[in-house]
Amino acid sequence: MIRSTQHAGPTQRFERRSSAADIRLRSGDEPPLASHLTSRRLLYTHHGIYAGHGRVIHYAGFAYGLRRGPVEVVSLAKFAHGHAIRVRPDTPCFSPREVLERALSRLGERRYRVLSNNCEHFCAWVLRGESHSDQVERLRAAPHVVTEYLRVWWSRSRQVFARRFTLRLNNYCATPKAR
């Protein structure tokens, strides 16, 4: 459960990790300490770890231009960059204190790589000790998906063309010719 800054309530441990299950953070609400935050952008989703007191630890990456940014602590507003913030229901392998210690241990790191060390990889490592990015996996699978789609489309198109050609040929042969 997301805690409101006006009336504190219990936090809930989350079992799943899925962008479809992300919970939108409402204005005035505070996410649970050490929770996995996401913020959708035009072509990707940005990830960070909530550090408390309105602060987020994230890998800046290309958030501010073409120069790779470091792992840094920013405000919720700067993390959101004008977009909605969501809490990802994730089950960490570490306590909230350990999650924050792990995130802070990489503060200032400047080894951002879109395909192998991005903000989502950072959060997966901080929360579960693994280097994983669902976005990168989908991107890597995309050529196979497109290839398979085109193969199926071509196969069906050939079948449709063959049917149409056969019908036209049959109609042509069946009609009496004027001499």
Tens-place pLDDT, residues 56-99: 999 998 877 778 899 999 999 999 999 999 999 989 999 999 99
**What is the rounded end-to-end Cα distance, in angstroms, of the chain?**
84
Taking 60 as the threshold, does the pLDDT of residue 9 lie above it?
no
pLDDT recorded at residue 43: 84
Asked if residue 102 lies in contact with residue 94, where contact means CB atoms within 8 angstroms, the answer is yes
**Are residues 79 and 150 located together in one domain of the fold?**
no
Length of the chain: 179
pLDDT recorded at residue 14: 34
Asked if residue 122 lies in contact with residue 114, where contact means CB atoms within 8 angstroms, the answer is no
**Are residues 40 and 76 located together in one domain of the fold?**
yes
Closest by Cα among 23, 86, 33, 82 to 55: 33
Q: What is the mean pLDDT of residues 121-125?
A: 98
**Are residues 24 and 80 located together in one domain of the fold?**
yes
Burial 96-112 (b: 16+ CB within 10 A, else e): beebbebbeeeeeeeeb
Q: How far apart are CA 62 and CA 144, in angstroms?
A: 27
Closest by Cα among 16, 50, 19, 11 to 33: 50
What phi and psi values does residue 10 have, to the nearest 5 degrees? -70, 155
pLDDT recorded at residue 10: 34
pLDDT recorded at residue 145: 67
> Given 116, 132, 148, which residue is the final one in a domain?
132
**Are residues 141 and 90 located together in one domain of the fold?**
no
Domain that holds residue 43: 3-132
**Are residues 73 and 120 located together in one domain of the fold?**
yes
**Are residues 57 and 122 located together in one domain of the fold?**
yes
**Are residues 92 and 174 located together in one domain of the fold?**
no
**Are residues 169 and 102 located together in one domain of the fold?**
no
Angle 119-35-107 (CA atoms, 0-180°, nearest 5)? 45
Residue 37's DSSP bridge partners are: 48, 87
> E strand or H helix at 85, and its extent?
none
pLDDT recorded at residue 46: 94
**Are residues 90 and 167 located together in one domain of the fold?**
no
If DSSP codes are grouped into helix, strand and coil, which group holds residue 73?
strand
pTM: 0.71
Torsion angle, CA of 64/97/19/117, rounded to 10 degrees? 50
CATH number at residue 7: 3.90.1720.10
